[in-house]
Amino acid sequence: MDLSLNEHQTMLKNAAASFMERECPKNVLLQLDKHETGAPPELWHKIAELGWLGMLIPAQYGGSGSSFFDAAVFNRGASLDRLGQFYARAIVASGLPFDMLFGPAYKGILLVAAVAIALARGVDGRPGRDLAFAFNRKEAKDHGEGGRVIGAPLAGRVLIVDDVMTAGTAVRESVDIIRAAGANPVGVAISLDRMERGEGALSAVQEVEQRFGMPVVAIATLEDLMHHLREAPEFGQNMRAIREYLQRYGAAPHA
C-alpha cells in the first residue's frame, strides 16, 4: 500500500503549515480561550476562504468531498502541536476526570501523543498533567513485544482521543480493548462533531454517549461552523449547502 502524499495532498500540507505559522502563533492561541466563540470571526473567515471547513462534506452539498487521508495531511510539527493544544483546552474545559489517554489506530495514534504533550505542558496557565497514553494496532503482533496495545498499560479511567465520529465503530472497538484490559473508558475527545445521524434518529455522538454512558467532548461542532458562516454573507451558498446536508444526514432539523 502506497501511503505517500500525492501532489494535491503535498500542496495542502504545505498550505496548512504556512497558514498555522502565520495566523496562529502562540500569542493568538493563548487568546482563543478568552473569546466568547472560541475564535474570532476573521479567523474562521480565512479558514472558510481556503475551503477547509467543507473538506469532509460531499461535493454535492457544497463541500470539496475530500478523503479522510486528505484531511489528515496537516502533518507538520507546528500544526500538530497547535491541534494538540486545541484538544487539551476542550478536554480541560469539560472537567471530565480521567487517568490516561488512548488513541485508536491510525490517526488516533498521532492525536493521542499530541494531546498528551499538550496536557503535560499545561493549558492556559494551569499546571500540566503528565499522563500515560497508549494506542492499538489494527492487527495483533505475534512476535517482539506482541499484542495489540502499545504504550502504557491500560488502567484506571481512560479517555479516548480520535478525529471525528461517523458510525462510532472506532469507539466501540476502543471500548472493547480498554475493558478487556480491566480499565474503564470514561469519555471520547474528537476534533469535530459533524452532527450526523448514527444508526437511528440520534447522532453518532449521542448514540455513543447513550450506549456507553460516557460524554463526547468536541473542539467544535458543525453548528459552531454554521454560527460563524451566518455572520459572513459571502458564504451564503456554503450555508445553504450545509443546511441541505444536515437536513438529509443530520440527527435533527437545523435552522
Asked if residue 66 lies in contact with residue 9, where contact means CB atoms within 8 angstroms, the answer is: no
- Whether 143 is a known active-site residue: answer yes
The domain locations on the chain are 7-249
Q: Which pLDDT tens digits describe the chain residue by residue (255 residues)?
A: 444 555 655 666 666 666 666 766 666 666 665 655 556 667 766 666 655 665 555 555 555 555 444 455 555 677 788 889 989 999 999 999 999 999 998 888 989 999 999 999 999 888 999 999 999 987 766 655 557 899 999 999 999 999 887 667 889 999 999 999 999 999 999 988 888 877 887 888 999 999 999 999 998 888 887 777 777 676 666 777 777 777 777 776 444
138, 141, 228, 254: the catalytic one is 141
Residue ranges in the chain assigned as alpha helix (H): 7-23, 26-32, 41-49, 68-71, 77-94, 107-121, 169-180, 204-212, 222-230, 236-249
Q: Is the pTM of this model over 0.75?
A: no
Asked if residue 91 lies in contact with residue 119, where contact means CB atoms within 8 angstroms, the answer is: yes
Asked if residue 214 lies in contact with residue 187, where contact means CB atoms within 8 angstroms, the answer is: yes
- Whether 141 is a known active-site residue: answer yes
For 132, residues 6+ apart whose C-beta sits below 8 A from its C-beta are: 99, 100, 101, 151, 152
Place of cell 492499538: 136
CATH T-level fold of 7-249 = Rossmann fold (3.40.50)
Distance CA 252, CA 116 (A): 34
8, 138, 143, 228: the catalytic one is 143
